[in-house]
Amino acid sequence: MGENEYDVIIIGAGPAGLTAGIYLGRAKLRTVILEAMTPGGQALFSERIENYPGFPEGITGRELAERMVKQAEAVGTEIKTLCPVERVRLEDGAKVVEATGGPYRSKALIIATGAQASKLEVPGEGRYMGQGVSVCAMCDGAFFREKVVAVVGGGDSAVEDAFYLSRMASKVYLIHRRDKLRAQKILQERLFEQKNVVPIWKTVVKEIKGDETGVKALLLERVDTGEIKELPVDGIFVAIGRRPATEPFREVVELDEGGYVVTDESCATSTPGIFAAGDVRRKSVRQVSTAVGDGAIAAYSAELYLERSKG
């Protein structure tokens, strides 16, 4: 093989991509992971992960990512960081990835670029990410037992997050810019049966305030009157949608109406030899553990594809 030729190319070094790299490295397949930024994916924004098996005392998202990187490299998988992918194309049966230092060629490809949560884009959001600002209620909700939190959004995800948090937080504010929710009626009914849930209508978050210990308050604005007020909270969960990072793959795989890669249970896409793992697929549960499971399945499927291709 040439310098930039591999058995498998993995795009994305989050938990799904790193897990696939570990499995493929152990299978003695020449594998490279191309990562646009820093390995770890969305896990990097988790101050503490307490629901990942094997770590009863919890572990930071950064430390977990570092351990995964070390394990992948130990079995021979290359990891190239600051290597954004611009385009993927097919050429004589090969998968050609146009990226920094490329192009790279492989027989099989795993897409593991994830999905980024949409941001409020307000002052304080980046500063307190992981310190009271979260995009995953299931991941971080346990840190807010008997505390006051806010959820921003009006769709199914926001309502489901608010309901989940209502079982542990002392009070949950649901902040929405309109006067009614987009979520399914049955979800709304279930949510508003909870006595500790308080909706705040026709309102947007203008700023997230805090100190060295984390989030302390939200600066809110009424969209109809312009009235400004401060709301004391211990945390804020942003649930205004996600954007899958799939633009470079539109020419080679089928995407659904939301831009997610369409796969079967083996993580295979519409194109033979191309697989997808993690949040880049449409999923009902987005956790490190489910991403890891996808990575293992995609790696096994890629290995099986390569074996069959030999014949």
Hey, which residues are catalytic here? 136, 139-140
**Full strand arrangement of the beta sheet holding 235-238:** 133-134, 235-238, 148-152, 171-175, 197-200
Q: Which residues of 150-168 are buried (b: 16+ CB within 10 A; e: fewer)?
A: bbbbbbebbbbbbbbbbeb
| Contact call for residues 245 and 86 (beta carbons, < 8 A) | no
Helix orientation angle between 15-26 and 288-310, rounded to the nearest 10 degrees? 40
Q: Residue 267 corresponds to which tokens in the numbers above?
A: 């993580």
Q: How many CA atoms lie within 13 A of 286 on its CB side?
A: 22
| Contact call for residues 240 and 153 (beta carbons, < 8 A) | yes
